[in-house]
Amino acid sequence: MHRFIWISVIFLVGCATLDRHENAQQIARSGALTPFSIKANGFVLTSYSRLQDLNQPINVYIEGDGLAWLSRHQASPDPTPKQAVGLALAALDPAKNVVYLARPCQFNDFSQTPCDSAYWTKLRYSEKVIDAMNQALEVFVSKTNHQPVNLIGYSGGAAVAVLLAARRHDIASIRTVAGNLDHAYVNQMHHVDLMPESLNAIDAVAHIQGIPQLHFIGTHDSVIPKEVATRFVNKQNDAKCIAVIEVEAEHQSNWIEQWTSLLKTSLPCNYQ
What's the whole-number average pLDDT of the chain?
93
C-beta separation of 156 from 86 below 8 A = no
Q: What is the pLDDT of residues 250-269, one digit of tens each?
A: 999 999 999 999 999 999 98
Number of residues that make up the chain:
272
Confidence band for 111, pLDDT divided at 50, 70 and 90: confident
C-beta separation of 36 from 49 below 8 A = yes
Q: What is the pLDDT of residues 221-243, one digit of tens each?
A: 999 999 999 999 999 988 889 99
Cβ-proximal residues to 33 (8 Å cutoff; 6+ apart), any chain: 48, 49, 50, 87, 90, 91, 98, 100
User: Domain map of the chain by residue range?
Assistant: 2-265
| Distance (Å, whole) CA 71 – CA 75 | 7
pLDDT at 66 over 70: yes
β 43-51/242-247 pair status: unpaired
C-beta separation of 233 from 211 below 8 A = no
Q: For residue 77, with 0-12 CB atoms within 10 Å meaning exposed, 13-18 middle and 19 or more buried, which class applies?
A: exposed
Pick the CATH number of 2-265 from 3.40.50.720, 3.30.70.330, 3.40.50.1820, 3.20.20.80: 3.40.50.1820
Q: How does DSSP classify residue 271?
A: -
Q: What percent of the chain has pLDDT over 70?
A: 92
